[in-house]
Structure 1
Amino acid sequence: MSLPRLMVAAPASGHGKTTVATGLMAALARAGHTVSGHKVGPDYIDPGYHALATGRPGRNLDPHLVGEKRLVPLLLHGAAGADLAVIEGVMGLYDGQIGGDGFASTAHVAAVTRTPVILVVDISSASRTIAATIHGLMTWAQPPVDVVGVILNKAGSERHAEEVVRSIGDRLPVLGTLQRDDGIEAPSRHLGLVPAAERADAAAALDRLAAQIAGAVDLERVVRLASAAPDLRETPWDPSVEVVRCERPGGASETPAFRSGLPSGGNGAKGARIAVAGGRAFTFRYAETVELLRAAGAEIVELDPLIDTRLPEGTTGLYLGGGFPEMHAAELGANERLRRDIRTSIGRGLPTVAECAGLLYLCESVRGPEGPAVPMVGAIAAAAEMAPRLTLSYRTATTPTDNLLSRAGEQVTGHEFHRTHLTGVDDGDPAWLMPDPAGVATSTLHASYLHTHWAGHPQLAQRFAAAAAAYAGPDLRHHGDREATPGLVDLAVNVFDGPRPRWLDRALADSITDSDSYPDASAAETAVARRHGRGTGDVLATAGAAEAFTLVARLRPWRHAVVVHPQFTEPEVALRTAGHAPGQVVLTHDDGFRLDPRQVPDDADLVVIGNPTNPTGVRHPASAITSLARVGRLVVVDEAFLDDEVETLADERVPGIVVLRSLTKIWSIPGIRAGYLLTEPHLVADLRALQTPWSVSAPAIAALVATSTETARDEARRRAEELAHRRDHLAQGLEELGIETVPSTAPFVLARTGRGSREVLRSLGFAVRRADTFPGLDDSWVRISARRTPVTDDLLGALRSTHPVLRKPVGIRHSGATVTPLQSTKER
């Protein structure tokens, strides 16, 4: 395959390789050539300038990162469609990996790719000695590097340049001479040049540079030299082939541990939607990273953490590459909504890869070169600060344990390039051993300082894409009625399963008869106010709690909304639909799923909590909830299951507290969306202004009036007592079978029956509510509604015949406890 190409090299760093190489690319492109830009080594910044110069992705060629055999295939892949490739070298011509005898040097890559070399030499401090330097560079190596020309840089005057050219003589063609011009040099800082994406003047500066190169360098001769490069026999690198090779048993890049867990087929990650960080703060990533993910079947969407306030809709994976978060810390920290969204999503298990800058961004805080520490995402319990020295080194890393990207014992090559360090890392296992432990890794998160080139280790991309495809996250729109399909005993829906009172049925029927005018909810609000001993201005009738959550979500531009989980997910859905990125306070099993008010962030301006909570059944003291109220904060309490009125906040006005009630459960009317909220009159007025006219139907109004009478209150107490007896009977039966439960005050019980138990129960004819759609729970838990004694006894009988308290199989390890699953009917 013919590919005209040249390598731009120098005696040492600082001679102007990047300036000349980028200028050549830009000048040749403006002369009508389609130019492909490449960089020797792991550098990210120079390829950014190459991309700006050529209009094509900048590429890297590094034998340490990708192996010698991939250099030519990657060169051909990157240059596809181009008529000329310009490769910028690294450091001095023969400088490579320390202790590697020139491995990964410019000369090494030039030899492997059979690329002619143009030298760029800074002549500002010498004249005739330049000729000796060039002669040494041309002849020192055996076999010698194919040096075909030289460009002289930073000449002090024409006379000075002429002296150097005369000393070189006919040893080597002088292709051009550049005078001193500081205006075309890119500014630099602690990690080298400022990336092109961060410079508003980059394009204008490049235009000046291209014009200067075109005027000073013989471009036609440069093209002739490039065209003389020998043909290449290798096949271009193909990300699709690399992905298939990873998946195929025995593939060159896979390990046995990986092979056993891979989906088959090149689109094994179909359905994955991976957000890739970019913008000014995240400018470092290899072009092949995205190409491999796409080849694996993933959709790639851009994310700019400086601008975007939420992860893209439908995100199933997050890639945070390198860059300069320490330089943009204030802007990143100010984007609170995105930080909360990412923290919440990672907490839910969103597959996330973070390299270097990404690692810093996920920490609790970052302190830049100047100023105080700035809060970051907070997904990793560590702080990042500037270090006294730059860390710059090639690495070979070993994986200590299986994790999102790698498998125990697997080795990868990479590099470190940072001037920060972390303090206080204590989350998860190390990502790598280099040889010291480094980074943080779990089954869903991989974060470290190590940069890896996935073209050299394509299995990393395939694993990440596969994990993103498998990730669904909690289905916040899932409800128990999806479980209760025909033919199954319904233990999933929390609706009282007895007949409705005749007086309620009669009121509903009459409302249909009288539905010849638009509904007016004022009578219902008056009845509800009387029931709770409050003024009518405190009451807003709603189309169930769902409408109330939607109104609250739209009430204000919440800066930091927080939902206490695990609980009913409708409020979070409402907040997200309204454009917010709510945070989560996730209560834990170790603490009995009980709220400690100190868990709620001080800056939260909206807090939503259920009491008792669905699905745990835990009831929080009214005093704990009222302690959350403060100036500038709204606390919304969902009392959907508080039928016995114990710990209720409905009967008194508490500033900053909104109480929601629903008639669905206790009165068995899920098809009639009837509910109300109670709060201060000014808030009721603001919420009413957001309400769609006539949203509360005539049957819902009739139900609100009918269930607010003293007769209805007596019936509600009787039903609450009956449900308590049913619940206690269910809980006692489960405990006798050795099944762990959460002490409940609601008409259901959260039980840990083991992973896969819900499907087994379905095969036995019982529908229970899955729990893994509630943030903070997994599929070892199910929620079981309290039914009449015979129905519960049938369930307990089925459990007794299958539950392994009678047979002792190997348990499943989960959250520090061994959970023994139900056995399927096939096993029985």
Structure 2
Amino acid sequence: MTSLPRFVVAAPATGQGKTTVATGLMAALTRAGRVVSGHKVGPDYIDPGFHALASGRPGRNLDPHLVGEDRIVPLLLHGAAGADVAVVEGVMGLYDGRVGGEGFSSTAHVAALTGSPVVLVVDISRSSRSIGAVVHGMATFDPRVEVAGVILNKAGSPRHAQEVASSIGLPVLGTIGRDDAFAAPSRHLGLVPAAEREEATHTLDRLADHVAQTVDLDAVLRIARTAADLSADPWDPVAEVHPPSDARPIVAMAGGRAFTFRYTETEELLRAAGCDVVSFDPLTDKALPAGTSGLYLGGGFPEVHAVALAANTALREDLRVAVADGIPTVAECAGLLYLCSTVDEAPMVGALVAEARMTARLTLRYPTATAATDSLLTRASEQVSGHEFHRTHTRPEAGDTPAWTIDGERVGFATPTLHASYLHTHWAGHPHLAQRFADAVHAATPHIQTASSTSVVGQARSAPLADPLRHHGDAEAEEGLLDLAVNVYGGPRPSWLDGALRASLDEIGRYPTSVRAEQAIAARHGRDATEVLATAGAAEAFTLLARLRAWRAPVVVHPQFTEPHAALELAGHHVVEVRCRAEDGFTLRGEDIPERADLVVLGNPTNPTGVLHPAATIRGLLRPGRVVVVDEAFMDTVPGEPESLAGGAHLGLVVLRSLTKHWAIPGIRAGYLLADPEVVADLRRHQVPWSVSTTAAAAMVACSSDVASEESRRRAAQLVAWRCGLEEALRARGIPFVESSASFVLAEVGAGVHVALRRLGVAVRRADTFPGLGPSWVRIAVRPEPQTRQLLDALDALAPQRS
């Protein structure tokens, strides 16, 4: 037998103030020197967060639907171990339970199962003596439930409170006046979690003081001590699961402000199963914990924090790679949303090919779910109890395997290494789920390889970058390595260009002007000079465009050069990602662009895929009020430039060009854009004076000449020959690649090969920093045959390990 002083805080209906009073009682008793254990009836995650803040101990849930009636008392005793008193906050009205269940899982049900006296909180703001009838009904409705005392809430005055108290035949333990400062703010799914309320601790101190002054705490404790001893043994996670090995693999568990929903017992079960649980914050951490062998992404509000989650591109990509690599992953509700491609068009991890959106309809159910297939957690046809509570909506595609069927509906996603759905389950009620997850974690290869790995490729995993959108190939082209990372033309500059650059030095005693350069560029493209703006490379152009307007829905088509995305974020815009898919050959589909987009940025041919999109498809994106920006930085590598849009004006179309790569002058920073005169004039007003140097302007004039046009055609033909040789060699080796129209080739050589090649003296551009690509992809600059041969020899040396 175990003695545990305890009581349940209940109310006649929801909204009466029981969370405020229960939390206030926990805080007041804790500050009075008592060790308090907080519990919540039902599946709710938010109230236990306030309980934990009030008591300094984990908040816990007691829900017969989720764990079964026989586990309620053991879980209560487990959670309350070492406590002086257990305070159990009810759910809804005292007798309100699962619909159709005749009070099953209600506060009254849990009070009866645990033999706990009830303290009834009643909002008296709109009644007086009628409250007596309400309390009498509550106290006599079910003889198994003992209502031992009442706390009056929201009293208008002492006289009002006295009138109500005189109508009640039970002890009145206290009277709390009206004070909105104590009410917890709510949002679309209920209360705001304590972890998201920076003022929560201060408010809790005030609440504790107020409750201590207005409620007879000694009388409350006397009621708690009337609870009978309990005969069950405390729940023990060690008795429910076992470690499958002697190792201590790491389970990375999402936390922070965006992921606050998980049951304490889940972590206890995983630790008992031999796992070390390490929290990470998807809002701030740039990478998963070192050695991650499993992922648990619980509930929360990713839709509220979508912008900040989207901005953490380094972690999103690290997570996407981890899931793609088969790291065992469990995702519930918010975790499911985070793994989707987008949430309300904000880019998420992209591990699931699914989009999620907020809807007006609340999904709230307490179902029994049937496993649709054998998966990471389940075996086909198994049933578990759970709950759903969400306003977002997503569903598996027709070809996807769902995690569950609920009332005939296919829900979630399931694979041998992934289980993701809206359904919340309490693993204390289904410990076999925890055991299966732990078994998979123990068997998994850690996401970040250890230095002791014997495989050259295996230990060559590229470390995540703090700012992948700003990573550039020049960071990889270190001295002593064959540079196939920077896609600058691999031959000497023509003598006429070198001569123009040297001659420009005679002019550097005066401030620069780009008038002649813009006139020369206009003549080359058959445009008016008012349609040309010279820029300090494409990077300046992207910055100017990002600051041009207060874009409402700027879209960047990925994978592509990341500078426009970074520039838009730096200007304070939330970028909507549209990703071209590998299975479609990374081709652009116009229907994927949201109609509400007022800015669309894409590359043609695209860096790093080398895909050349039809000009007609791009023109089809033009809309009134929309600006379409086409980065043609590599168009001059395409013989004849058949899909270029530089030669004709279209309202809302901006074409960017760069001299950097084709003419091998990255240190000069020379580029330009072509647009209608009004857009060019607006951009010019935003441009820093004299940003285009004298030498850059001279390069633009020289590269717009007839002799330059002839040399450009020759270089484009040379690049085609080099590229065909590289592609033929990759094809012969069975290495997948994307058919390219540019001066580089995107190849899928395998995870870890990027770093392994560096050890063999070859630098290629890692592609996992491009949204939509992972660590198995690299971009290879095309070069003359001797340099290509050095790359191929290195790939051949790694072939046994790549396979």
TM-score higher than 0.5: yes
Is 2:267–2:277's contact at 8 Å kept on the other side of the alignment?
Answer: no
Q: Which moved more, 1:622-631 or 1:426-435?
A: 426-435
CA distance in 2, matches of 1:178, 1:193: 31
What is the CA distance between 1:558 and its match in structure 2?
A: 1.2
Q: In the alignment, does 2:757 pair up with 1:784?
A: no
Q: Note if contact 1:175-1:222 (Cα within 8 Å) is conserved in structure 2.
A: no
Tell me which residue corresponds to 2:671: 675
Q: Secondary structure at the match of 2:726?
A: helix
1:137 alignment counterpart:
144
Counterpart pick for 1:451 among 424, 434, 442: 424
Shift, 1:345, TM fit: 9.5
1:531 alignment counterpart: 524
Q: Where does residue 221 of structure 1 map in the other structure?
A: 219
Aligned to 2:279: 298
1:634: how far off? 0.8
Which residue number corresponds to residue 144 of structure 1? none
Q: 1:626 Cα shift?
A: 1.9
Cα 1:586–1:647 shift into 2, 3 Å? same
Question: Is the 2:585–2:738 Cα contact (8 Å) retained in structure 1?
Answer: yes
Answer whether contact 1:727 1:748 (CA < 8 A) is retained: yes
SS in structure 2 opposite 1:653? coil
Which residue of structure 2 aligns with residue 369 of structure 1? Answer: none
Judged with a 3 Å threshold, the aligned counterparts in structure 2 of structure 1 residues 3 and 295 are, in CA distance, closer, same or farther, namely: farther
Flag the 1:606–1:347 CA change in 2: closer, same or farther, 3 A: farther
Q: Which moved more, 1:340-349 or 1:431-440?
A: 340-349
**2:540 matched to which residue of 1?**
547
**2:397 aligned partner:** 426
1:313-361 superposed Cα distances (whole Å, 9 cap, x missing partner) = 85979967368x9xxxxxx79x997898899998996579765588799
Alpha-carbon distance, 1:300 to partner: 3.7
* 1:519 corresponds to: 512
Amino acid at match of 1:664: T
Q: Which moved more, 1:441-450 or 1:696-705?
A: 441-450
Contact 1:16–1:120 (8 Å) recurs in 2 = no
Residue type at the aligned position of 2:702: A
Q: Deviations over 1:677-733 (max 9, x none)?
A: 111222122212222233222322222222222222222222112112222222233
Measured in 2, the distance between the counterparts of 1:619 and 1:782 equals 18
Letter in 2 for 1:532: H
2:572 match: 579
Which residue of the other structure, out of 478, 493, 497, is the alignment partner of 1:504? 497
CA distance in 1, matches of 2:174, 2:495: 97
Change (3 A) 1:423 1:75: same
Q: Where do residues 5-154 of structure 1 align in structure 2 (5 Å cutoff)?
A: 5-8=5-8, 14=12, 23=21, 26=24, 33=32, 37-44=38-45, 59-62=60-63, 69-76=74-81, 85-89=86-90, 117-118=117-118, 120=120, 136-137=143-144, 149-151=148-150
Residue 700 of structure 2 is matched in structure 1 by 704
Moved more, 713-722 or 439-448: 439-448
Within 5 Å, give how 1:390-409 maps onto structure 2: 391-393=365-367, 395=368, 400-402=373-375, 406=377
Write the deviation string for residues 418-438 of structure 1: whole angstroms up to 9, x where unpaired: 598979643643234679775
Q: Does structure 1 residue 570 correspond to structure 2 residue 563?
A: yes
SS in 2 for 1:298: strand
Residue equivalent to 2:712: 716
Task: Give the C-alpha shift of residue 755 in structure 1.
Answer: 4.3
SS state at 2:683 partner? helix
Partner of 1:819: none
Correspondence 1:588 to 2:581: yes
Deviation of 1:635 (Å): 0.9
Structure 1 residues 210 and 515, CA gap change in structure 2 (3 angstroms)? closer
Q: 1:650 aligns with which of 646, 653, 669?
A: 646
Matched, 1:321 2:299: yes
Runs of at least 5 residues in structure 2 that lack an aligned partner in the other structure: 123-130, 154-159, 289-294, 324-328, 449-462
Give 1:223 deviation, angstroms.
2.9
Query: Any idea what SS the aligned residue of 2:171 has?
Result: strand
* Offset at residue 505 of structure 1 (A): 1.9
Aligned partner letter, 2:279: A
Counterpart of 1:555 in 2: which secondary structure? coil
Change (3 A) 1:210 1:88: farther
- Residue equivalent to 2:591: 598
CA distance in 2, matches of 1:362, 1:737: 34
Q: Give the alignment's Cα RMSD to 1 decimal.
A: 6.0
| Structure 2: distance between partners of 1:117 and 1:626 | 72
2:690 matched to which residue of 1? 694
| Distance across 1 between alignment mates of 2:630 and 2:685 | 21
Q: Mean Cα displacement is larger for which, 528-537 or 87-96? A: 87-96
The structural deviation recorded for 1:219 is 3.9
Q: State how far apart, in whole Å, the 1-side matches of 2:17 and 2:687 are.
A: 62
Contact 1:9 1:92 in 2 (8 A): no
SS state at 1:650 partner: coil
Mapped contact 1:8–1:17 kept (Cα < 8 A): no
What amino acid does structure 2 have at the position aligned with 1:117?
Answer: P
1:766 lines up with 2:741 in the alignment:
no
2:387 corresponds to which residue?
416
Q: Deviations over 1:633-675 (max 9, x none)?
A: 1111111111143322222222111111111111111222111
Distance of 1:399 and 1:36 partners within structure 2: 38
Q: Is the 8 A contact 1:386 1:419 kept in 2?
A: no
Tell me if structure 2 keeps the 8 A contact 1:355–1:448.
yes
Give matches, 1:196-235, under 5 Å: 218-226=216-224
Identity of aligned residues (%): 45
**CA, structure 1 residues 742+357, in 2 after alignment: closer, same or farther (shift >3 Å)?**
closer
Residues 722 and 490 of structure 1: is their aligned pair in 2 closer, same or farther, counting only changes over 3 Å? same
Distance change in 2, residues 1:131/1:523 (3 Å)? closer
1:440 to 407, 412, 415: 412
Q: Give CA-to-partner distance per residue, 1:553-609, whole Å, 9 cap, x none.
A: 111111111122222222112222222222223223333332232332222111111
- The one-letter amino acid of 1:7's match is F
Shift of 1:752: 3.6
SS in 1 for 2:534: strand
Shift in CA distance, 739/126, structure 1 to aligned 2, threshold 3 Å:
closer
Change (3 A) 1:681 1:237: farther
1:632 aligned partner, one-letter code: G
Alpha-carbon distance in 2 for matches of 1:196, 1:733 = 58
How far does the alpha carbon of each residue in 1:213-248 deviate from its partner, in whole angstroms, 9 at most, with x for none? 977x7543323454688999999999xxx9xx9xxx
Q: Supply the distance in 2 between the matched residues of 1:192 and 1:615 (Cα, whole angstroms).
A: 41
Unaligned runs of 5+ in 1: 139-146, 166-173, 246-250, 302-310, 326-331, 367-373, 804-821
The answer to whether the Cα contact below 8 Å between 2:60 and 2:264 also exists between their aligned partners in 1 is yes
Q: For 2:556, what is the secondary structure of its paired residue? A: strand
1:728 matches 2:700: no
Query: Is residue 615 from structure 1 mapped to residue 608 from structure 2 by the alignment?
Result: yes
2:474 corresponds to:
481
**DSSP 3-state at the match of 1:729:** helix
TM superposition shift of 1:548: 1.0
Q: 1:482 to 1:118 in 2, by over 3 A?
A: same
Q: Report the Cα offset of residue 94 of structure 1.
A: 11
How far, CA to CA, are the matches of 2:447 and 2:735 in structure 1? 33
Amino acid at match of 1:781: W
Asked whether the 8 Å contact 2:375–2:418 carries over to 1, the reply is no
Distance 1:90 1:667, change over 3 A: closer
- Give TM-score, length-normalised by structure 2: 0.70
Residues of 2 paired with 1:131 and 1:627: CA distance?
A: 70
